[in-house]
Amino acid sequence: MVKKWLKKNHTRINPTIIMVLIMVSACFLPLENLFAAFSLNATPYEGGLDLRFENVQSGTKTAKEVTINITSDIGKQYRLIQTSVPLTNSRGAVISPQAFTLYTLRGSSARGTLGYDFETNVTTGPMTIYTSDSSGQGASFVVVYGFNLPVDQEPGQYRGRLIFSLEPIGSSQSPVVKTLEITVEVESAANFEVITSTGSKILSLEIPGTEQSRRQEVKIKINGFLGREYRIIQRTAQPLRDTTGRQLPDNIVLMSARGGANGRLGISDYRALSPGDTVLYTSDNRGSPDEIVITYALSDAGQDLIAGDYRGALAYLVESAASIKDGGNLEIVQFEVNIKPIFNLSVNSDEAGRISFRDLKPSQPPQIRPSYIEVQTNAKRPYQVAQRVDGLLTNEEGKAIPYGFFKLKTEGEQNNEGLNYTGEAPVETGQMVLYVSKDGKPAKFKVIYKLGVPQDMQSGNYSTSITYSLLEQ
C-alpha cells in the first residue's frame, strides 16, 4: 500500500507549488522589465527592409519617407538617436553629407519633440530625431530622407546605413537598436555643351582682318560623370565651299587643342583641319567631367585664296557606351570662312606722285629712277596697271626736256609675262598701260625710268607729276 501511494504522488506536480516558485522568481527581477513593451520599427514608405533610391540623376533632387513606430509602456521618457555610415560606391567615391538631408513630419501620436522640423544635412555623428514627453508613451512619425546630388556626382551604386537607437532616459531598460540599409543608384547624368567664342552656333573666321577675326575658339564641356570612358570627336559634316562649289584647301584652317585635365588630348600643336573624324579628347575610365578648348585659325596661305564666302559645318559628338542626358551627344556648328576681296596697288619710289631729276647739267651721263610696283589681289579677275604723266619734264622756269630723252622699261620679279615695255620706250604724256594680267594673279614688277641729258639743256631740277592706277578689265 505504502509503495503504491509513493509512486502515485511522485509523478504528480502540485499546481500550488508551481505558482509559489514563479512568485519567488519574480522577486529577483526589476518590476519594469517583467512585462514591459519597448520596441522600434523603421519602415520605408514603399515597403521592404531597405531604403532604396533608384535611378537618381546627379543634379536632381529626390526624397523618400521612412515611418518610425515606437511602442513603449515603461512609463519613462526616452529618445531616438540616429547615426549613419557614409554612402560609398565600389570605387570609394562618397556622397557628400551636404547632398544627403532629412527632416521630420509630426504624426498624430507623437507627443514629444521632433528634432528636425527643417531640412538638415545627415551627419555621421549622433542626431536626436525624437524625444518623448515625460510619460514615455509610444509615438509614430515620419522622417523624410532626400538627396540633392551635385552635377559632378560619380554614377554607380552607393551603400550605407542608418542606425537607430531607442534609448530610455532614467531607466534601466535596455536600448533597442535597429539598422536600415540604404542603397542609392546614381545614374550617369552628364550633359554635353559646345560654346563658340561669340556664344552662338556659328564659327566665323575672316581674312584679311584683325587677329581676333582670324582666330576663334570652341569650348567643349562634359558636365557630370559619364561613368565610362568616352571620346570627343570632331567630324567635318560639310566641307568649306563657296557658292560656285569651290572648296577651301585643307591647309588654310589650322586647329589646336588645350585643356583636358582629366583625360588626354588627341591633338595639341596646330595642324590642318582635315576632312573626316578627328579624335579631340579621350577621358579617363570613370568618364570624369572635363573641358577642352579648340582654337581655329587661318594660315597665311589664306592671303592667296580667291575671295568669297566659304561655308560648311563641323559636328562634335561624344562616343561612349554610356548615354548623355537627354540624348544630347551631338552638336553641330556652322563654320564660315570669309575671304574678303583684295585689290590693292602699292608703289615704292623716291617721291609720291612725282618723278624728279635734280642738279642736272648738260652732257652728264644718263640718270636712272626706278619705281617698284606690287599688285595684291585675290579677285582672280583680269586687270591692268597704267601710269599717267601730266607732261614733259620741266624746271622751275618752265624749260622742258624734249620728247624722246625720257624713257622707261619694265622688268618682272620672276618673268616678264604681262609686261608691255620690256625694251626701252619713250615716256608718253598721258596714259601708258604698263602691265596686263589675264589670270588676275598678284604681281610684282619695276619700272626703270631713264633720262638722257641733252647737251644744250639748261642746268637745274626737272620734274613732272606721275600717277599709277589699277583697273579691272
pLDDT at position 172, please? 85
Evaluate if residue 138 carries a pLDDT over 60: yes
Higher pLDDT pick, 70 / 213? 70
pLDDT at position 177, please? 96
Q: Which three cell numbers stand for residue 365?
A: 651721263
Evaluate if residue 203 carries a pLDDT over 80: yes
pLDDT at position 209, please? 75
pLDDT at position 189, please? 67
> At 3, is the pLDDT very low, low, confident or very high (cuts 50, 70, 90)?
very low
What percent of the chain lies above the pLDDT cut of 90? 62
pLDDT at position 228, please? 83
Name all domains of the chain by residue range, CATH numbers in brackets. 35-187 (2.60.40.2040), 191-339 (2.60.40), 343-472 (2.60.40)
Evaluate if residue 346 carries a pLDDT over 80: yes
Mean residue pLDDT across the chain: 87
Say which range, 9-13, 70-74, 205-209, 344-348, has the weakest mean pLDDT.
9-13
> At 61, is the pLDDT very low, low, confident or very high (cuts 50, 70, 90)?
confident
Instruction: Quote the CA–CA distance of 180 and 68 in Å, as a whole number.
Output: 11
Say which range, 59-68, 221-230, 320-329, 376-385, has the weakest mean pLDDT.
320-329
Instruction: Quote the CA–CA distance of 281 and 283 in Å, as a whole number.
Output: 7
Say which range, 189-203, 235-249, 414-428, has the weakest mean pLDDT.
189-203
Q: Which residues contact 452 (CB under 8 A, 6 or more apart)?
A: 366, 405, 406, 407
In this prediction, residues 144-150 reach a mean pLDDT of 92
Give per-residue pLDDT as tens, 236-279: 989 999 988 999 888 889 999 999 999 999 998 899 998 889 99
What's the distance, CA 108 to chain centroid? 53
What is the 3-class SS of the chain, one letter each residue?
CHHHHHHHHHCCCCHHHHHHHHHHHHCCCCHHHHCCCEEEEEEECCCCCCEEEEEEECCCEEEEEEEEEEEECCCCCEEEEEEEEEEECCCCCECCHHHEEEEEECCCCCCCEECCCCCEECCCCCEEEEECCCCCCCEEEEEEEEEECCCCCCCEEEEEEEEEEEEECCCCCCCEEEEEEEEEEEECCCEEEEEECCCCCEEEEEECCCCCCCEEEEEEEEECCCCCCEEEEEEEEEEEECCCCCECCCCCEEEEEEECCCCEECCCCCEECCCCEEEEEECCCCCCCEEEEEEEEECHHHHHCCCEEEEEEEEEEEEECCCCHHHCCEEEEEEEEEECCCEEEEEECCCCCEEEEEEECCCCCCEEEEEEEEEEECCCCCEEEEEEECCCCECCCCCECCCCCEEEEEEECCCCCCECCCCCEECCCEEEEEEEECCCCCEEEEEEEEECCCCCCCCEEEEEEEEEEEEEC
pLDDT at position 17, please? 46
Evaluate if residue 420 carries a pLDDT over 90: yes
Evaluate if residue 469 carries a pLDDT over 50: yes
> At 326, is the pLDDT very low, low, confident or very high (cuts 50, 70, 90)?
low
Evaluate if residue 212 carries a pLDDT over 90: no
> At 327, is the pLDDT very low, low, confident or very high (cuts 50, 70, 90)?
low
> At 310, is the pLDDT very low, low, confident or very high (cuts 50, 70, 90)?
very high
pLDDT at position 60, please? 78
pLDDT at position 7, please? 47
If you average pLDDT over each of 185-189, 327-331, 443-447, which comes out highest? 443-447
Amino acid type, 384: Q
pLDDT at position 405, please? 95
Q: Which residues contact 87 (CB under 8 A, 6 or more apart)?
A: 94, 95, 100, 158, 159, 160, 182, 184
pLDDT at position 190, please? 73
Evaluate if residue 225 carries a pLDDT over 70: yes
Give per-residue pLDDT as tens, 421-449: 999 999 999 999 999 999 899 999 999 99
Residue 327: phi, psi to the nearest 5? 70, 15
pLDDT at position 24, please? 41
Burial class (CB in 10 A: 0-12, 13-18, 19+), 7: exposed
